[in-house]
Amino acid sequence: MNTVTRAHLAERIYTQVGLSRNESADLLETVLDRLARSLESGESVKISGFGTFSVRQKGRRIGRNPKTGIEVPILPRRVLVFRPSQVLKAHVNGTAVPTGDEFAGDEE
């Protein structure tokens, strides 16, 4: 299966906007870093038509080492969750893309 990487995305920016390849790559990195910084501060990121990245707080729980069976505490932590928008889900299924007031990751 093909894998799309930073290089592909930077190349697309390069062909779409006509900036230099270097600047295209730098801008992609800036966007990713800006998303990361927002999530790091606990703030969710909503990209309409794509989805929502949010941070969820998980409480402490008792886990178990599956190999040894020994109980180990799993400390409270913050995890990242991504909820795809209806538009993205439709694209992935090749079905009709919903129109109207669809907003990132809000559904049901």
Partner 1 sequence: MTKSELIAELAAANPHLLGRDVEIIVGTIFDEITAALARGERVELRGFGAFTVKKRDARTGRNPRTGEAVPVDEKAVPFFKAGKELRERVNRGGKPARPVRERVVA
**Shortest reach from residue 60's CB to partner 1, in Å:** 14
φ, ψ for residue 46, nearest 5 deg = -110, 115
Residue 104 makes contact with partner 1 by CB under 8 A: yes
Question: From the CA atom positions of the chain, what is the Rg in Å?
Answer: 19
Nearest to partner 1 of 72, 80 (CB atom) = 80
Complex with partner 1: residue 32 or 72, whichever CB lies closer: 32
Q: Which of 60, 82, 98, 107 binds partner 1 (CB under 8 A)?
A: 82
Q: Contact letters (x/-) for partner 1, 23-62, by CB under 8 A?
A: -x--xx-xxx-xxxxxxxxxxxxxxxxxx-x-x-------
Q: What is the dihedral of CA 75, 77, 80, 83, to 10 degrees?
A: 80
Q: Name residues whose C-beta falls within 8 Å of residue 54's C-beta, 6 or more positions apart in sequence.
A: 39, 44, 45, 80, 81, 83
Total residues belonging to the chain: 108
Between 70 and 79, CB nearer to partner 1? 79
Other beta carbons within 10 Å of 3: 5
The tokens 């501060």 sit on which residue? 41
Binding site for partner 1 (CB under 8 A): 1-6, 8-9, 12-13, 16-17, 19, 24, 27-28, 30-32, 34-51, 53, 55, 77-80, 82, 84, 87-89, 91-94, 104
